[in-house]
């Protein structure tokens, strides 16, 4: 009997029509932006993320299959400072004339991109401004504001819900900001060493100084490594932060020279809140 019941259940399950997601589609460039959309829209919208986990948003090329999702999207929330976003813009006008493109960095005071110190570099992939705006609460509030504006324009039928959720998100960002202030208050050494300079806006908000190992988006040269070693000794830095996507070899070599350690962070994680607090705790733990 039990066996028959099992078979019946199986047959019924197989006969269920495949549930299609009927929700309208919003595209975002990177995963942390999905967090902001989800906070404001709840489960009212479907979110398409362009840069998949493990890929770099700095040199990403969109796949042909992703253009299909772009064609179905009503709104694309760009970071606005990533070069790959410019590259798609032109192709898009052919496939989706009604797509609303929103620049989430609008009204943010951008930090200039890293200066190129060495000669003979290829400037083609160099970003004019630091795109890591989502890693500081101050800029994240502006991202949230731009996201709200875009969602209300694209999906006015949900405006009231968006407004309520937005208010809650802003209070959450404010309390995280206050918590970070508190966690970093007693930090005496406010210098941080990082492989890829993702914490520029975070450093600006919380009065830290960020030094990057990477130079102009490239692996450090021996000359640059030497100057970093000198600087780190002078500033008594023993921790080198690195994003999980990067090859840790240079960072480990540096850590050995400084008798320090490599600490992994994940700025492209979906869970913005968890990530910001994790980065903060790791900075606060620096001696």
Subset of 22-41 contacting Zn ion (CB under 5 A): none
Q: Which is nearer to Zn ion, 79 or 255 (CB)?
A: 79
Q: Which is nearer to Zn ion, 81 or 180 (CB)?
A: 81
Min dist CB 30 to Zn ion, Å, is 9
Helices (H) and strands (E) in the chain, counts: 10, 8
Min dist CB 210 to Zn ion, Å, is 12
For residue 92, how many other CB atoms are within 10 A of its CB? Answer: 17
Subset of 180-209 contacting Zn ion (CB under 5 A): 198
Q: Which is nearer to Zn ion, 73 or 210 (CB)?
A: 210
Helices marked H in the chain: 2-15, 31-41, 64-72, 83-95, 137-154, 159-184, 200-205, 222-234, 249-258, 272-284
Quickly tell me which residue has 């988006």 as its tokens: 217
Min dist CB 47 to Zn ion, Å, is 21
Tokens at 101, concatenated? 């493109």
Tokens at 59, concatenated? 């040199």
Quickly tell me which residue has 């700025």 as its tokens: 267
Q: Which is nearer to Zn ion, 144 or 212 (CB)?
A: 212
CA distance 197 to 241: 10
- The radius of gyration computed from the CA coordinates of the chain, to the nearest angstrom, equals 22
Min dist CB 202 to Zn ion, Å, is 12
Q: Which is nearer to Zn ion, 69 or 266 (CB)?
A: 266
For residue 26, how many other CB atoms are within 10 A of its CB? Answer: 27
Min dist CB 196 to Zn ion, Å, is 5
Q: Which is nearer to Zn ion, 148 or 212 (CB)?
A: 212
Min dist CB 129 to Zn ion, Å, is 12
Min dist CB 130 to Zn ion, Å, is 9
Subset of 138-177 contacting Zn ion (CB under 5 A): none
Q: Yes or no: say if 281 and 183 are a contact pair by the CB < 8 Å rule.
A: yes
Query: How far, in whole angstroms, is CA 83 from its chain's centroid?
Result: 15
- Binding letters toward Zn ion, positions 225-254, x by CB under 5 A: ------------------------------
Min dist CB 32 to Zn ion, Å, is 11
- Interface with Zn ion: number of residues (CB under 5 A): 1
Tokens at 281, concatenated? 């705790």
Q: Which is nearer to Zn ion, 96 or 214 (CB)?
A: 214
Q: Which is nearer to Zn ion, 154 or 197 (CB)?
A: 197
Tokens at 198, concatenated? 């993702």
Query: Which burial class, exposed, middle or buried, applies to 113 when counting CB atoms under 10 A from its CB (0-12, 13-18, 19+)?
Result: middle
How, if at all, do strands 209-212 and 100-103 pair?
unpaired
Nearest residue (beta carbon) to Zn ion: 198
Q: Name the residues that contact Zn ion, by CB under 5 A.
A: 198
């Amino acid at each position: 009997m039990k066996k028959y019941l099992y078979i019946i259940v199986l047959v019924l399950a197989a006969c269920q029509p495949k549930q299609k997601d009927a929700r309208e589609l919003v595209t975002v460039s990177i995963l942390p932006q999905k967090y902001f959309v989800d906070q404001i829209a709840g489960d009212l919208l479907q979110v398409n993320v362009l840069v998949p986990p493990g890929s770099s948003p700095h040199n990403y090329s969109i796949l042909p299959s992703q253009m299909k999702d772009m064609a179905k999207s009503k709104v694309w929330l760009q970071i606005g400072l990533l070069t790959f976003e410019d590259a798609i813009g032109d192709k898009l006008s052919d496939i989706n004339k009604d797509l609303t493109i929103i620049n989430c960095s609008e009204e943010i005071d951008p930090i200039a991109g890293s200066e190129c110190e060495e000669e003979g570099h290829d400037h083609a992939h160099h970003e004019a401004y630091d795109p890591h705006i989502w890693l500081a609460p101050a800029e994240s509030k502006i991202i949230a504001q731009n996201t709200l504006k875009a969602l209300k324009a694209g999906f006015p039928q949900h405006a009231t819900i968006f407004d309520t959720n937005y208010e809650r998100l802003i209070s959450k960002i404010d309390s995280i900001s206050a918590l970070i202030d508190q966690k970093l208050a007693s930090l005496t050494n406010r210098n941080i060493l990082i492989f890829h300079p993702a914490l520029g806006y975070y450093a600006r908000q919380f009065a830290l100084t960020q030094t990057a190992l990477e130079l102009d988006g490239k692996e450090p040269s021996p000359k640059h490594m030497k100057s970093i070693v000198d600087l780190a000794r002078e500033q008594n830095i023993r921790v080198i932060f690195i994003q999980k996507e990067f090859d840790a070899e240079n960072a480990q070599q540096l850590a050995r020279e400084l008798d320090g350690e490599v600490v992994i962070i994940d700025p492209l994680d979906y869970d913005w809140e968890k990530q910001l607090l994790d980065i903060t705790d790791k900075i606060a733990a620096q001696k």
